[in-house]
Amino acid sequence: MSSGLLEDASFNQSPAFGDVDLFSADRPLADAAARAGLDLANLSACGKDYGALATLDLGRVANENPPKLHLVDGKGNRLDLVEFHPAYHAMMTKSIGHGIHASAHDGSDKPGPASTRAVRLYLATQAESGHMCPITMTHACIGALRSEPALLAKWLPKIQTRTYDPRPLPWWEKNGVTLGMGMTERQGGTDVRANITRAVAHGDHVEITGHKWFMSAPMCDAFLVLAQAEGGLTCYLMPRYRPDGSKNQIRFQRLKDKLGNKSNASSEVEFHGAYAERVGAEGAGVRTIIEMVNLTRLDCAIASAGQSRIALSQALHHIRNRSVFQRRLADQPSMRATVADLALELEAQVALVFRLCRASERAHDDLAEAAYVRLLTPAVKFLVCKSTPQLVYESLECLGGNGYTEDLPLARYFRESPLNAIWEGSGNVMALDVLRAAGRHPDQAMATVNALARTAAPAFDVRPLAETLAKVLQSGDAERRARFLCEGLAKIAALAALAEAKSDFATLYGDTRLKGACFAQFGTADLGSAEQALMDRALAA
C-alpha cells in the first residue's frame, strides 16, 4: 500500500507560475509607466492577458511545434508556404490586437505612444518571444517607409488594423498585413555594402535577382530588402504577390535550425526577378534603413529586459514556495543575495530602457534627446541584451535540476536569451556604432556624457569613469577598447536613469557596478538591507 505523502507530486514543489498581472507585480515597470504618465489600468489589463496561465502555455506549445516549410504540393506545384501551429497564430492575434505592431505610429496612445507600446512589448515577450519578430519588424518598417510617403500611404491602412490575417492572399485582399526584412547575404552578413543581389528597373518598379541569408518571418505580406541598383545599394519593398495577383518570384530554400526562437521561421531565400518598389533614394539604402535599424535595436533591448524579467519572476516564485534545510529558499542568505542582485540589475535595465524610449519620443523636437538616442541606442542594446543570458541562467539555477528540464520554461528562455544580442548587430557592431556616433558628433557626444554624469552625481560620482572613457575615446586605441567604452557608457546611463527616477537603489547600483574592481557573478555584491525590497519589487509577493 503506497503512502499518500509519496503520491503527492507537489510535495515541497512550487506551484505552476501563471494567472499573474505581469505589469502590476513588476514594480520597476509600473513605476516607469507612472513616471511617463501612461494609462496604468490599461497596461494592467495587458499584464493580466500575457500573464494568464493559458497564454503562457501558448508559448510552450508554439515552441514545441515549430513551423514547417512546404516548397511544393503533392503534384510538384510551387508553394513556398510556411505552416505555423495554431498556438503561434493565437499569439500573433493577441499581440496585433494589442497594437504592438503599429500603435506607436498611429497616435492612439497618449501620452507616450512609444513608451506604452514598449510596455506591451516587454509584457508580450514574457509569454512568447518568437512571434515578436514579425511584430517588431512591422513596427520598424514603418520608420523606413516614411522616406517614400506615397508607398507608405498605400500600405498604412492595412498595417494599422488590429486584425491578424494569416491567409496567403495578395495584401490588398487581406484585413491586416505584416512586414518583414531581408538585408543580409551569406558573403557579407553585417557588411550589407557587400551585397550582390541586383535590382533592374522596369518602369515603375524593379525586378530583383539574388538571395538573402536570413529573412525572418517569411509569411509576412511584404519585405524590405537591399539590392544593388545602378546608383548603388538601395532599399526596396518586395510584396509576396505581384500587382496582377500572381505570386512573386520569392523562392525559399530552407528554414534555419536555430538554437532557440523555435516558434518563429527564419529562412534562406532566392529572388528570381521578384517585383519590388523603391523605398528612399537610389543608392541611399543604408541611410533609408537607419531609422528601421534604430527601432529594432530599441525593441531588442526592451524584449531582452522582458526575457530577464520573466526568468527572474519564475525564480522568485520558486524560492518563495520551496523549503530547504527547514527554511524557505527565499529566506536562505546566499539565495537572497543572488536573487536580489539579479533584481538590482533588472531595476537598472528597466529604468534605462524606458529612459531611452522617452528620449526617442522627444528626439524630433529636442536636440539633446536626439543626441542621447544616437549615442545610447547601441550602448543600451549592448548592455541589456548581452546581460540577458547570464540573468536567465542564474534564474534557471535557482530552480536547481528542475530548471534544466524541458518540462519547465527556463530551458526555453535560456535558449532564447542570446538572440537579441546578435540580431540587428552583435556586440562588437554595437560598440563600434557607439564610436561612430561619437566620432560624427563629438561635441554632442561629450555633452551627452557630461549631462549623464551630472544627473548621476547625487547618487554616485561617475566623473572618474567618464574622464577615463573620454581619454580612451580620444586615443588611438579606441577601437580595441570599444567594448569597454560601450559598457562604461551604458552603465553610466543606467545609473543616471535610476537617479533621474529618484530610485532608492541608484547609489547601490553605483557602488556595486561602478566602484573599483567589481566581481563578475551575481550574488557577490553586498546589498545589505536592500535585498528584501529588491526581491519584492521584482515580483510582488
Model confidence pLDDT, tens digit, residues 207-232: 999 999 999 899 999 999 999 999 99
Where are the extended beta strands (E) located within 246-353? 250-255, 266-279, 323-324, 327-328
Give the rounded distance of the alpha carbon of 154 from its chain centre: 28
User: pLDDT-derived band of residue 522, with 50, 70 and 90 as boundaries?
Assistant: confident
CA dihedral 511, 512, 513, 514 (to 10 degrees): 30
What pLDDT, on a 0 to 100 scale, did the predictor assign at position 277?
98
What pLDDT, on a 0 to 100 scale, did the predictor assign at position 498?
98
Nearest Cα neighbor of 254 from 212, 296, 314 is 212
Where are the extended beta strands (E) located within 163-243? 179-182, 198-202, 205-216, 222-229, 232-239
Lowest mean pLDDT among 169-178, 343-352, 415-424, 471-480: 471-480
User: pLDDT-derived band of residue 2, with 50, 70 and 90 as boundaries?
Assistant: low
What pLDDT, on a 0 to 100 scale, did the predictor assign at position 377?
97
Q: Which residue has the cell 547618487?
A: 459
Model confidence pLDDT, tens digit, residues 345-362: 999 999 999 999 999 999
Give the pLDDT mean for 457-463: 95
CA distances from 85 to 63, 168, 313, 410 (A): 9, 15, 27, 21
- pLDDT surpassing 80 at residue 7: no
Q: How far apart are CA 225 and CA 147, in angstroms?
A: 15
Answer whether 218's CB lies under 8 Å from 265's CB. yes
Model confidence pLDDT, tens digit, residues 351-397: 999 999 999 999 999 999 999 999 999 999 999 999 999 999 999 99
User: pLDDT-derived band of residue 108, with 50, 70 and 90 as boundaries?
Assistant: confident
Model confidence pLDDT, tens digit, residues 283-313: 999 999 988 999 999 999 999 999 999 999 9
C-alpha cell at 221: 505580406
C-alpha cell at 75: 503534384
User: pLDDT-derived band of residue 510, with 50, 70 and 90 as boundaries?
Assistant: very high
- pLDDT surpassing 80 at residue 517: no
C-alpha cell at 78: 510551387
Give the pLDDT mean for 92-115: 92
- pLDDT surpassing 60 at residue 272: yes
**Burial grade of 327 (CB within 10 A; 0-12, 13-18, 19 or more):** exposed
Model confidence pLDDT, tens digit, residues 55-66: 999 999 999 999
Answer whether 420's CB lies under 8 Å from 353's CB. no
- pLDDT surpassing 70 at residue 430: yes
